[in-house]
């Protein structure tokens, strides 16, 4: 039976009134399992008005009291993780273990955000001038919003909402309509943890809902993760409407493999980083760059052997290395890229098209695909594929490998595998990419550092989580204070100085 989903506004589930719906698929079986309402502009505006009203009380709470809500939320989501992970896997298609990792990475940011009493402290200077003290305070913006993608339906909503709520804001979450059930569950858990009703509202929708958020003057900041064209659109539209924006787009993450690297370690790392979650990760390594022909030949042989033993299967079944893609359209899009690679002359070492999982023939499955001898002018090198496709783009030497990662229009993540500390240090300093891994295949920083890419992978000067998140979700007020000593000095017509 197809479930009817709702919005979550004012602490209650609200039936959509627009008359428009989107199908939520079970990608492992290829069947529709739910319908989600797509909010109209008026529905979004009502949610924002609700949030603005609720924020007055929440913003007045002291930071420690707000942090206690986050701590209670952590207890609740830990208990509920097994069921949330299965719900997530059933709508997204990633395995249950991978779904648990999705939740855990979000939880880690909530843990960090619970340090709000410290993170919101301002600065203080006593005696800045005669009888004058200067201090600053961080205050919430008011209502802020997060527009989050399908590929991490737990992690990224928590990355956005956690610091925003801890800083005293009300939060409008517009999740992907492809897998909305986990974001709705997150809303329920925050309410159960003691968050006042209306401080976190979950509004499902498509472009109409996004535009309603971008054009509403009550929304002071917008965070987004998704494709680069939409990131650029949201960033530009938010800026034109006087809003802060942090928008993260596409990626093409390289792994540089030096001749001295342990190639068995490298091959294992590439298999996990390239094919995990069916490649539907913005931090997936999709380009292996072996340095030198001998390194490339040896790596290609190891990868070809390992790809043969990968198990693709239903998200909820144990033993699957990765599951299906999220929709039939996503599968068709990736298959199109595979054909482009063949047409443009890349060497196809493993072809995942036509992959059938017995008993689940209608699922959106695609086997692991591996290309070799890919050149930088090929479409499969230049564009983000977002599927289980790993390509080998050979480099003659270290400088060419460094240039490949630096010159690509995306600058999200990059890794280097080597035993040479000098090479690793030089690479880390010189590569024009936002997040760098040294012998680490997926260079996602831990929660108390910041996450963000460069170039067409990121728009805005403040990144996700870490201290940047609290800077983004607060405004700084600086107070210059003087208590008269009783001495009358008369009027002064020069600008004040501190001497």
- How far is residue 361's CA from residue 313's CA, in Å, rounded to a whole number? 11
- How far is residue 437's CA from residue 322's CA, in Å, rounded to a whole number? 23
Determine the angle formed by the axes of helices 421-430 and 398-407, rounding to 10 degrees.
30
- How far is residue 179's CA from residue 38's CA, in Å, rounded to a whole number? 13
Choose among 460, 287, 491, 497: nearest CA to 376. Answer: 287
Kindly state the helix (H) or strand (E) to which residue 410 belongs, with its residue range: strand 410-411
- For 22, phi then psi, to 5°, come to -125, 150
- How far is residue 178's CA from residue 111's CA, in Å, rounded to a whole number? 27
- For 87, phi then psi, to 5°, come to -65, -45
Sort strands 458-459 and 244-248 into parallel, antiparallel or unpaired.
Answer: antiparallel
- How far is residue 222's CA from residue 209's CA, in Å, rounded to a whole number? 13
Choose among 41, 20, 137: nearest CA to 479. Answer: 137
Choose among 251, 252, 255: nearest CA to 402. Answer: 255
Report how far Cα 132 is from the mean position of its chain's Cα atoms: 44
- How far is residue 273's CA from residue 353's CA, in Å, rounded to a whole number? 20
- How far is residue 348's CA from residue 357's CA, in Å, rounded to a whole number? 22
Residue whose structure tokens are 């899009």: 333
Determine the angle formed by the axes of helices 263-275 and 293-307, rounding to 10 degrees.
50
Do residues 94 and 315 make contact, with C-beta atoms less than 8 angstroms apart?
yes
Rg (CA), the chain: 25
Active-site annotation holder among 165, 282, 338, 374: 282
Q: Can 247 be counted among the known catalytic residues?
A: no
Residue whose structure tokens are 């843990």: 111
Structure tokens at 163: 């610091």
- How far is residue 106's CA from residue 109's CA, in Å, rounded to a whole number? 5
Determine the 3-state secondary structure of 171 from DSSP. strand
Q: Residues with catalytic annotation?
A: 282
């Amino acid at each position: 039976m197809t479930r009817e989903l709702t919005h979550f506004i004012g602490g209650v589930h609200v039936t959509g009134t627009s008359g428009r719906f989107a199908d939520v698929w079970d990608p492992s079986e290829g069947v529709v399992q739910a319908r989600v309402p797509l909010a109209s502009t008026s529905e979004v505006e009502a949610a924002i008005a609700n949030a603005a009203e609720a924020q007055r009380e929440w913003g007045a709470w002291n930071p420690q009291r707000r942090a206690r809500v986050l701590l209670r939320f952590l207890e609740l989501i830990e208990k509920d993780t097994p069921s949330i992970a299965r719900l997530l896997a059933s709508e997204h298609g990633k395995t249950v273990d991978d779904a648990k990792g999705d939740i855990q990475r979000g939880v880690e940011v909530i843990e960090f955000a619970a340090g709000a009493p410290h993170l919101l402290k301002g600065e203080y200077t006593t005696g800045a001038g005669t009888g004058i003290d200067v201090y600053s305070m961080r205050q919430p913006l008011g209502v802020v919003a997060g527009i989050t993608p399908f590929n991490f339906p737990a992690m990224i909503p928590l990355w956005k909402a956690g610091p925003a709520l801890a800083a005293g804001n009300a939060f409008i979450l517009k999740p992907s309509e492809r897998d909305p059930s986990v974001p709705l569950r997150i809303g329920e858990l925050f309410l159960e943890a003691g968050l006042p009703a209306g401080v976190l509202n979950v509004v499902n929708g498509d472009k109409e809902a996004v535009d309603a958020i971008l054009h509403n003057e009550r929304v002071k900041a917008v965070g987004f993760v998704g494709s680069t064209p939409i990131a650029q659109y949201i960033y530009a539209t938010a800026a034109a409407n006087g809003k802060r924006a942090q928008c993260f787009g596409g990626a093409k993450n390289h792994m540089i493999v030096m001749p001295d690297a342990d190639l068995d370690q490298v091959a294992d790392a590439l298999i996990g980083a390239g094919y995990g979650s069916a490649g539907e990760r913005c931090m997936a390594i999709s380009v292996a760059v072996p340095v030198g022909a001998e390194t490339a030949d040896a790596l290609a042989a190891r990868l070809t052997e390992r790809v043969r033993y990968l198990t693709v299967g239903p998200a909820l079944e144990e033993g699957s290395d990765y599951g299906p893609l999220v929709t039939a359209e996503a599968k068709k899009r990736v298959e199109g890229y595979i054909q482009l690679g063949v047409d443009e002359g890349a060497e196809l070492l493993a072809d995942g098209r036509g992959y059938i999982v017995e008993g689940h023939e209608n699922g959106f499955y695609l086997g692991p695909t591996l290309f070799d001898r890919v050149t930088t002018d090929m479409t499969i090198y230049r564009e983000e594929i977002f599927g289980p496709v790993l390509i080998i783009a050979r480099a003659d030497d270290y400088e060419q490998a460094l240039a490949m990662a630096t010159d690509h229009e995306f600058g999200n993540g990059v890794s280097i595998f080597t035993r040479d500390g000098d090479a690793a240090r030089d690479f880390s300093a010189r590569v024009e990419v936002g997040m760098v891994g040294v012998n680490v295949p997926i260079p996602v920083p831990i929660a108390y550092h910041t996450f963000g890419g460069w170039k067409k992978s990121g728009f805005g000067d403040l990144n996700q989580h870490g201290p940047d998140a609290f800077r983004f979700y607060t405004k700084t007020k600086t107070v210059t204070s003087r208590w008269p000593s009783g001495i009358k000095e008369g009027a002064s017509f020069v600008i004040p100085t501190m001497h």
